[in-house]
Amino acid sequence: MTAIPNRIGSIDQDVFKQLESEVRSYCRSFDTVFAKAKGARLWDKKGREYIDFFAGAGALNYGHNNERIRSRIVDYMMNDGITHSLDMATEAKERFLLTFQHKILKPRGLSYKLMFPGPTGTNSVESALKIARKVTGRTNVIAFTNAFHGMSLGSLAATGNAYKRGGAGVSLSGTTFLPYDGYMGPLFDTSLLMEKMLNDAGSGVDKPAAVIVETMQGEGGLNAASAKWLQRLESLCREHEMLLIVDDVQMGCGRTGTFFSFEEAGIRPDIVCLSKSIGGYGLPMALTLIKPEYDIWNPGEHNGTFRGNNLGFVAATEAIAFWEDGTLELRIKEHSFSIRKFLERTAARYGGKIKEVRGKGMIQGLVFNNPDDAGQLCRKAFERGVIMETSGSRDEVAKLMPPLTIEKELLAEGMAKLEASLSEMYDFAEQKEPVGIHP
Amino acid sequence: MTAIPNRIGSIDQDVFKQLESEVRSYCRSFDTVFAKAKGARLWDKKGREYIDFFAGAGALNYGHNNERIRSRIVDYMMNDGITHSLDMATEAKERFLLTFQHKILKPRGLSYKLMFPGPTGTNSVESALKIARKVTGRTNVIAFTNAFHGMSLGSLAATGNAYKRGGAGVSLSGTTFLPYDGYMGPLFDTSLLMEKMLNDAGSGVDKPAAVIVETMQGEGGLNAASAKWLQRLESLCREHEMLLIVDDVQMGCGRTGTFFSFEEAGIRPDIVCLSKSIGGYGLPMALTLIKPEYDIWNPGEHNGTFRGNNLGFVAATEAIAFWEDGTLELRIKEHSFSIRKFLERTAARYGGKIKEVRGKGMIQGLVFNNPDDAGQLCRKAFERGVIMETSGSRDEVAKLMPPLTIEKELLAEGMAKLEASLSEMYDFAEQKEPVGIHP
Amino acid sequence: MTAIPNRIGSIDQDVFKQLESEVRSYCRSFDTVFAKAKGARLWDKKGREYIDFFAGAGALNYGHNNERIRSRIVDYMMNDGITHSLDMATEAKERFLLTFQHKILKPRGLSYKLMFPGPTGTNSVESALKIARKVTGRTNVIAFTNAFHGMSLGSLAATGNAYKRGGAGVSLSGTTFLPYDGYMGPLFDTSLLMEKMLNDAGSGVDKPAAVIVETMQGEGGLNAASAKWLQRLESLCREHEMLLIVDDVQMGCGRTGTFFSFEEAGIRPDIVCLSKSIGGYGLPMALTLIKPEYDIWNPGEHNGTFRGNNLGFVAATEAIAFWEDGTLELRIKEHSFSIRKFLERTAARYGGKIKEVRGKGMIQGLVFNNPDDAGQLCRKAFERGVIMETSGSRDEVAKLMPPLTIEKELLAEGMAKLEASLSEMYDFAEQKEPVGIHP
Amino acid sequence: MTAIPNRIGSIDQDVFKQLESEVRSYCRSFDTVFAKAKGARLWDKKGREYIDFFAGAGALNYGHNNERIRSRIVDYMMNDGITHSLDMATEAKERFLLTFQHKILKPRGLSYKLMFPGPTGTNSVESALKIARKVTGRTNVIAFTNAFHGMSLGSLAATGNAYKRGGAGVSLSGTTFLPYDGYMGPLFDTSLLMEKMLNDAGSGVDKPAAVIVETMQGEGGLNAASAKWLQRLESLCREHEMLLIVDDVQMGCGRTGTFFSFEEAGIRPDIVCLSKSIGGYGLPMALTLIKPEYDIWNPGEHNGTFRGNNLGFVAATEAIAFWEDGTLELRIKEHSFSIRKFLERTAARYGGKIKEVRGKGMIQGLVFNNPDDAGQLCRKAFERGVIMETSGSRDEVAKLMPPLTIEKELLAEGMAKLEASLSEMYDFAEQKEPVGIHP
């Protein structure tokens, strides 16, 4: 047996470059090898510390290695609790079902059956589209410009991004893309076009099984739909007997300020897709919530080997405790406010460079006039020890999405580093330029 | 906040019936609530013990709560190791990459880049189909009768089962189904039809990007392809510049006797899909192995939130140690032999009821003339404390797939229980029949 | 051999009801059996005369049994001219090619290669879409709300009407429907949405091979696109390297006032589809005009048995003579003007019932507030001896489209009959109502 | 107005090369310009005579300019009969309906409703597939290797030829291709594979709406299905409630010896597609015959501008008279026999070059070992004044399909010319070779 070369310990990514596929992406932006993490902090092999303003793209809302959750998982494991069970009934799952029912759904007056698809967001979306098509007997689904719903073919067909769609290698069909709220500017209510096309038997839009929507588009560039627009969607869905699917994979579990991102708009989706932070500890898990009257699945009609990730159930059950009193909501509110203030101040300062502030809750960002600047900010922030990413179809938005549980001081420290990065980009550059003797 | 009703402790599935979707399936066959598991044993809430002849459909090849693996995971967690990292570089991933390279690929003379798609088999298949289509610029893919490749739309299009396909709610396209090895009986070599159709520009089979094949069809009824037939596939792939994809999600990681199921046939697939037991401990994880020359992904062209399940990397790294010396292979060989002997003896005894013995390695089963009998055997076995399932398009096969690491005595005990179940079904019934006064 | 029952002579449609498929449609509106026709007049078996305000939906622009054309056809036939030749070269075809080149294309400064697909509009559209996809290597095509392009699956995918699409029995894909000019009212320029979606890599609109457009939508309800909007389409096509396809099947050959309907807008489509009146005499024939640089067909890559209907060539060649001096254009202009005047007067008179006048050239109509009224007008007109039809997705438009060659007096007579019909519908009814003693 | 250059009179194809699309095909094989035709003879501009062994690919079964039919058409025209009527009821159509009912259907004990789709074969196929999908509510359709059903997307999806499919520019879906009778040689009954796949819920073949089949594949290379195999298809259709569609576009109207090609096999298709020679005189016309119980179309659910080509009705009505007594059938029988004898003698003589004789009735041909030889024979025959074409996916078959009405002497003359051509190719070449002093 060949010995493994002792690469462990070095900080560069040679091993990844040699052995991992070219498809890897985030590791290209963050060129180090991470070793440890706690709360909103990460450390690389050399011990360098980073503030996490990315939070696993929303999978780490409760931070890294949360101790309360961890102790539950470890106890469970040490007690020979069941890790993998397909969809057999286990104590861990039972506890999660009850907790979710009584601590999340009931207090919000919501009534859903819980489906456990494969443990990823895309699987939840695939299952949502399937059941919507089954319920209605229709095939078409309305999705929106700049939507992101996942990478397997069913979900990808509802995803707007040309780069990602191009990867399919086949034509993606079964979806009609309509303009998201605000797509044509503030003066044109895009729901009117949808209404007209649905009411017009000549529009070429085949009667849809469902509308799938993110209340705020994360990957799409932090575009937030107004409550009014979401309510219009809901009423169009009722009128045309389409199911309303809210993809809350990224915005759910508190990211925008409430457990479900649609609570504020007061709508009642027929189906809700959850994943990312539902696993509580960064563990793969996904949920599809289905109104009981639409839960017409036959047994096993959609399945998957890891639909029962019991460690995820254990972690999720504990994570839900965060929502029992109002403490977390309050903290999100305060954090959101300070992020907003910071971003608006920044946008005002660099008015010529920054187009606007977008987003809400603990996912907000700056839209740059020059998309490259968003990437540059992320790179400079990384040099200063902050991990953050861009979004938008031109990667023009630099976004802040720390764990919801981040400490106030650490959040402030991270924002200060962003401020310094921007200053380096613009103030320093501006000063230098007149001085420099460039060709 | 409403208190959670104290259901925990009761053994029935009321909670699941009320709160979980109708899509649940296995829990319907095994009507109890499981609480603990160790090795090849499970216990339900009441403390009743079961022998596991199902092994998470292949996700628990090393058994439940393997202590060596568990201690690695717990250590890693307690040391604030990184749980979730999207595809950022981590120590845990680096260690896995090196281990897989040096302990799995190199000794077998294989050269692949490793891609981490979402952590499920279907995601690996989706990524395999995408890259094959990208490499070749073609869209069609050849799949086989009774193939199972997953439930998201891309994979489902390559899955033969009408019930599962029907769940899509849309037409599934982009695949041509051809007869698997032995489909028309032993006298007709089905690869000849494939060859003819590929060579005939009038066959209506659009030039394929790839052939996707399981070396043995698990869900499809334990149909095993011969080495010769697989070699024919490989050479047709070379001739027509199609990629050969082996879906080793269920048969890989040792299930058939070698780490990869295709080792015996001596073929070199262009792409290999792994999942289930690669996560080592029942943890969600998937791998797509791609020949370096076909690794032409652009960064992030296929991605997913949980493509970096670090606990899975930690577990997988330790699990690979099982393959360092020949101990496990030897054990599988012995177990396989005793399972075979048992099944053949059984088939001989109930010749009128049992059509044949199918499968190999540690996934073998009995094909019943009357499909209902396969289900009945599983039910009776469950009553006696053995967990096993059916497969095949008519659920006509009762299959044994215990953890590879099962103890010899436990395996024997489980088989004895099957013997008793069959005897109850047939001998007892047979005895009774002459007594009865049927109309 | 059974004798044929002597049904010939009776005027009812019993034979059709018994022997012809339920799919028949226009014969349901016009419940008689027609026997003869000349110019803009038809007669049924009983000798009853009808004025033709329908003109074969645009296939009879030069009227029925035009004597000049007829004499050419009969001479050709009696001289053993070739009727059917697949796409072999014939004198008749050569003459048509030269005539079309020198009398239609050259004087308008247009340069196209002529393709003869099967002899119907839908075949021309199918061929146009194929070549556009081949030229660009893309698959998506932009079509517009309320477009009608034909009934075979390729064309039907670009047709908006839900009833017709529903007949496909399969999902129609490969097209994106965007709002036609004026779809959202006069204040919203729908080309802006198209522009935005094309420029936005996140819009979900896959880069199109082509835009297919009718300059005026006949079946869709006489919606006419403005010159400015068409010019915007053309420039978006140039910018995004999409081909501009004008489907001139119904509006071409003079219906809107010029030979091609797009002449006024001054655009240069990359592909033009012609059929209906190109056959000159109601004979099946279709043409696909392709800019020479895009004529990259391989031989026989699109074909069809009747792509060489030589009687159609003979008739078409003679029909083109109508376009040699300005006489026909002038007549169309005069007719159009008097139709407009009549319709506007009518619309003014029945303001509460009629929403607006639509269309241009010799295809204009009345849009009724109550769609049923459009159908009622057609029925009443038929009773008075005028043949006309409705269009629009709710059949809300009653349209006038007589042969371009109709005599001034006959046109006036037909319009007078319409006036009487409307008067019967509204004035008489209105008068009666106060008198009636309804509950 | 530009004068037309005086090209008329020259025999070369310059005009076509300059003005017609590159898609033209047959005119490339037959490099002249045809001017007149009568019976089974054509003449080009220079007056050179050709014997027609191609018959418009089956559209001229009654020969060119048949005088009986012509006089009917001309009389009808001169009498101001209606040429174009969409699907309005006309005397000409009524007469055709009655004639077809009483002279074709009734004597054969067949009961069908008649649908007039657009006037081409592909339109008939499109309509057949639509109604089959509507009747069954299923989407998949079984088609066969080397099938040809047309070039619009619906029909093309059921066409096997890769070159033609490639022209679509989109993925063609909704069809499953299975091996035609004899595809795997005489020892393997391909209907067994179909049976197995239909009965196996895991085969990946979605339950089909219909099976579409040619009783003999013309374009596919003159492969004739046996009566037994067709009967098996029929019974599988009954068993699985699929509709049996016979595409009789090329083989119908007497080509194989009986009016419908399926008469001999004694099957009762649910739908029959007719076109080509149904128009009697080479005029565009198509028919879809539908069993009354499946005629569930809604009005206008499938339509087309030229679905009522009245000159076609007039010609067809007269053409049917050929089938009133047995004269034509007898002639076909005699001709078929002499063609067979000739081909078999020829095949025997050039055993090393010619693989076999294929086809039946008046469409038979020689399969060459070297596909180029088939093309060479056609070229040499053309030099000698015989028009014939190749078929098969490698163009390996040289086929004879003269008008059914060809005179005995002319048929013999044509065959003599073929004999001379073959002799030139093989005998002369063989002799010369030893003599020549080639490098």
Q: What is the number of H-type helices and E-type strands within chain D? A: 15, 17
SS3 A49: strand
Interface test with chain B among A17, A90, A305, by most B beta carbons within 10 Å: A305
pLDDT given for residue B1 in this prediction: 41
Pairing of strands B34-38, B41-44: antiparallel
Calpha distance A398→B282 (Å, rounded):
37
Q: Which two tokens mark A4?
A: 């493994």
Size of interface A-B (CB pairs under 8 A): 408
With tokens 């861009």, the residue in question is A390
Are A338 and A267 found together in one domain?
no
Q: Which residues of D touch B (CB under 8 A)?
A: 139-140, 143-147, 158-163, 165, 171-177, 179, 183-184, 188, 192-193, 196-197, 200-207, 220-221, 392-394
Calpha distance B402→A270 (Å, rounded):
40
The partner residues of B84 in beta bridges, in order of sequence, read: B309
With tokens 């078999």, the residue in question is D344
Q: Which residues of B touch D (CB under 8 A)?
A: 139-140, 143-147, 158-163, 165, 171-177, 179, 183-184, 188, 192-193, 196-197, 200-207, 220-221, 392-394
Calpha distance B407→B331 (Å, rounded):
9
Question: Edge to edge, what strands does the sheet with B389-391 contain?
Answer: B354-360, B363-368, B397-400, B389-391
Are A165 and A292 found together in one domain?
yes
Nearest CB to A113; choose among B20, B88, B134 = B20
Look up residue D309 and give its DSSP letter.
Answer: B
pLDDT tens digits, one per residue of D233-244: 999 999 999 999
Calpha distance D211→D190 (Å, rounded):
14
Distances (CA, A) of C39 to C60, C281, C328, D323: 9, 11, 15, 36
C19·D113 Cβ contact <8 A: yes
* Chains in contact with C, where contact requires at least 3 CB pairs less than 8 Å apart: A, B, D
Of B71, B58, B117, B78, whose CA–CA distance to B321 is shortest? B71
pLDDT tens digits, one per residue of C63-90: 999 999 999 999 999 999 999 999 999 9
Q: Are the C-beta atoms of A303 and A87 separated by less than 8 Å? A: yes
Are C195 and C77 found together in one domain?
yes
Look up residue C352 and give its DSSP letter.
Answer: T
Are D143 and D164 found together in one domain?
yes
Question: Letter for the amino acid at C379?
Answer: R
The partner residues of D213 in beta bridges, in order of sequence, read: D246
Calpha distance D124→D126 (Å, rounded):
5
Calpha distance D239→D208 (Å, rounded):
12
pLDDT given for residue D12 in this prediction: 87
Neighbouring residues of C365: CB distance < 8 A, sequence distance ≥ 6: C222, C343, C357, C358, C359, C391, C397, C398, C399, C400
pLDDT tens digits, one per residue of C323-358: 999 999 999 999 999 999 999 999 999 999 999 999
B97·A16 Cβ contact <8 A: yes
User: Is A427 within the bounds of a domain?
Assistant: no
A167·B118 Cβ contact <8 A: no
What's the whole-number mean pLDDT along residues C131-156?
98
Distance from CA of A28 to the nearest CA of D (A): 35
A88·B64 Cβ contact <8 A: no
Residues of chain A with C-beta less than 8 angstroms from the C-beta of B64: 80, 82-84
Residues of chain A with C-beta less than 8 angstroms from the C-beta of B168: 130, 133, 154
pLDDT given for residue C308 in this prediction: 82
Q: Which residues of A touch D (CB under 8 A)?
A: 170-171
Q: Quick one: which H or E segment has residue D142?
A: strand D140-144
D202·B220 Cβ contact <8 A: yes
pLDDT tens digits, one per residue of C231-271: 999 999 999 999 999 999 999 999 999 999 999 999 999 99
pLDDT given for residue B366 in this prediction: 98
Question: Letter for the amino acid at B245?
Answer: I
Nearest CB to D143; choose among B163, B179, B204 = B204
C204·A163 Cβ contact <8 A: no
SS3 D124: helix
User: Is D366 within the bounds of a domain?
Assistant: no
User: Is D112 within the bounds of a domain?
Assistant: yes
Are C136 and C183 found together in one domain?
yes
Residues of chain B with C-beta less than 8 angstroms from the C-beta of C170: 171
Q: Are the C-beta atoms of A205 and A198 separated by less than 8 Å? A: yes
Q: What is the CATH number of the domain that holds C126?
A: 3.40.640.10
* Cβ neighbours around C348 below 10 Å, total: 10
pLDDT above 50 for C438: no
Distance from CA of C260 to the nearest CA of A (A): 25
DSSP letters along D56-77, please?
HHHT-TT-BT-HHHHHHHHHHH
C170·B171 Cβ contact <8 A: yes
Q: Which two tokens mark C14?
A: 């019993």
Pairing of strands A363-368, A386-387: unpaired
Are C226 and C149 found together in one domain?
yes
Are D339 and D263 found together in one domain?
no
Distances (CA, A) of D36 to A157, B84, C84: 56, 80, 11
- For chain B, the straight-line distance linking the first and the last C-alpha, in angstroms and rounded, comes to 63
Distance from CA of D343 to the nearest CA of B (A): 25
C113·D37 Cβ contact <8 A: no
User: Is D315 within the bounds of a domain?
Assistant: yes
Pairing of strands A208-213, A140-144: parallel
User: Is C411 within the bounds of a domain?
Assistant: no
C202·A160 Cβ contact <8 A: yes
Residues of chain A with C-beta less than 8 angstroms from the C-beta of D138: none
Pairing of strands B354-360, B363-368: antiparallel
Pairing of strands C208-213, C216-217: unpaired
Residues of chain D with C-beta less than 8 angstroms from the C-beta of A171: 170-171
Q: Is the dihedral of CA D274, D275, D277, D283 positive or negative?
A: positive
Look up residue B184 and give its DSSP letter.
Answer: T
Neighbouring residues of C225: CB distance < 8 A, sequence distance ≥ 6: C180, C181, C182, C213, C214, C215, C216, C265
Of A406, A377, A403, whose CA–CA distance to A390 is shortest? A377
Distances (CA, A) of C188 to A183, A228, C184, C193: 14, 21, 6, 9
Average pLDDT score over chain D: 94
pLDDT given for residue B438 in this prediction: 44
pLDDT given for residue C284 in this prediction: 97
Nearest CB to B206; choose among D145, D165, D221 = D165
Residues of chain C with C-beta less than 8 angstroms from the C-beta of A186: none
pTM: 0.95
Pairing of strands A386-387, A49-52: parallel
Average pLDDT score over chain B: 94
Distance from CA of D40 to the nearest CA of B (A): 31
Q: Which two tokens mark C117?
A: 């697909």
Distance from CA of C372 to the nearest CA of A (A): 16
Nearest CB to A82; choose among B64, B86, B325 = B64
Distance from CA of C134 to the nearest CA of B (A): 15
Are D345 and D271 found together in one domain?
no
Calpha distance B173→B182 (Å, rounded):
25
Are A258 and A335 found together in one domain?
no
The answer to whether ipTM exceeds 0.90 is yes
Distance from CA of B171 to the nearest CA of C (A): 8
Size of interface A-C (CB pairs under 8 A): 114
Distance from CA of A105 to the nearest CA of B (A): 11
Calpha distance A185→A181 (Å, rounded):
9
Interface test with chain A among C153, C156, C191, C200, by most A beta carbons within 10 Å: C200
The CA dihedral of C330, C333, C335, C341, to the nearest 10 degrees, is -150
A139·C175 Cβ contact <8 A: no
User: Is A373 within the bounds of a domain?
Assistant: no
Final residue in a domain of this structure, among C272, C301, C323: C323
* Cβ neighbours around C19 below 10 Å, total: 20
Look up residue D364 and give its DSSP letter.
Answer: E
Residues of chain C with C-beta less than 8 angstroms from the C-beta of A158: 204
Q: Which residues of chain D have pLDDT under 50?
A: 1-2, 7, 432-439
Q: Are the C-beta atoms of B85 and B308 separated by less than 8 Å? A: yes
Nearest CB to B70; choose among A45, A77, A107 = A77
* Cβ neighbours around A67 below 10 Å, total: 11
SS3 of A266-313: the string is CCCCCEEEECHHHHCCCCCCCEEEECHHHCCCCCCCCCCCCCCEHHHH
- For chain D, the straight-line distance linking the first and the last C-alpha, in angstroms and rounded, comes to 59
Are B196 and B331 found together in one domain?
no
Are A147 and A75 found together in one domain?
yes
pLDDT given for residue C6 in this prediction: 54
Please state the domain count of chain C.
2
In whole angstroms, what separates CA C318 from the centre of its chain? 21
Residue-wise pLDDT tens for chain A (439 aa)? 445 655 555 668 999 999 999 999 999 999 999 999 999 999 999 999 999 999 999 999 999 999 999 999 999 999 999 999 999 999 999 999 999 999 999 999 999 999 999 999 999 999 999 999 999 999 999 999 999 999 999 999 999 999 999 999 999 999 999 999 999 999 999 999 999 999 999 999 999 999 999 999 999 999 999 999 999 999 999 999 999 999 999 999 999 999 999 999 999 999 999 999 999 999 999 999 999 999 999 999 999 999 989 999 999 999 999 999 999 999 999 999 999 999 999 999 999 999 999 999 999 999 999 999 999 999 999 999 999 999 999 999 999 999 999 999 999 999 999 999 999 999 976 554 443 344 4
Range of the domain at D234: 69-323
User: Is D343 within the bounds of a domain?
Assistant: yes
| Interior angle at CA C84, CA C78 and CA C87, nearest 5 | 135
The partner residues of D363 in beta bridges, in order of sequence, read: D360
Distance from CA of A158 to the nearest CA of D (A): 19
Neighbouring residues of C348: CB distance < 8 A, sequence distance ≥ 6: none
With tokens 């003066």, the residue in question is A187
Final residue in a domain of this structure, among C312, C336, C356: C356
User: Is A392 within the bounds of a domain?
Assistant: no
Calpha distance A254→A405 (Å, rounded):
11
Of A241, A245, A240, A219, whose CA–CA distance to A230 is shortest? A245
Neighbouring residues of C134: CB distance < 8 A, sequence distance ≥ 6: C296, C297, D167, D169
Final residue in a domain of this structure, among A340, A356, A372: A356
Distance from CA of B135 to the nearest CA of C (A): 17
Look up residue C165 and give its DSSP letter.
Answer: H
A37 dihedral zone (left: phi>0; alpha: psi -120 to 50; beta)? beta
Calpha distance B392→B161 (Å, rounded):
9
Residues of chain B with C-beta less than 8 angstroms from the C-beta of C171: 170-171
pLDDT given for residue C429 in this prediction: 64
Q: Which residues of A touch C (CB under 8 A)?
A: 139-140, 143-147, 158-163, 165, 171-177, 179, 183-184, 188, 192-193, 196-197, 200-207, 220-221, 392-394
Distance from CA of C194 to the nearest CA of D (A): 22
* Cβ neighbours around C333 below 10 Å, total: 14
* Chains in contact with D, where contact requires at least 3 CB pairs less than 8 Å apart: A, B, C
D170·A170 Cβ contact <8 A: no
The CA dihedral of A276, A281, A284, A289, to the nearest 10 degrees, is -50
Of D193, D191, D229, whose CA–CA distance to B179 is shortest? D193
* Cβ neighbours around A197 below 10 Å, total: 22
Distances (CA, A) of D61 to A327, D114, D282, D320: 88, 21, 9, 12
Are C246 and C347 found together in one domain?
no
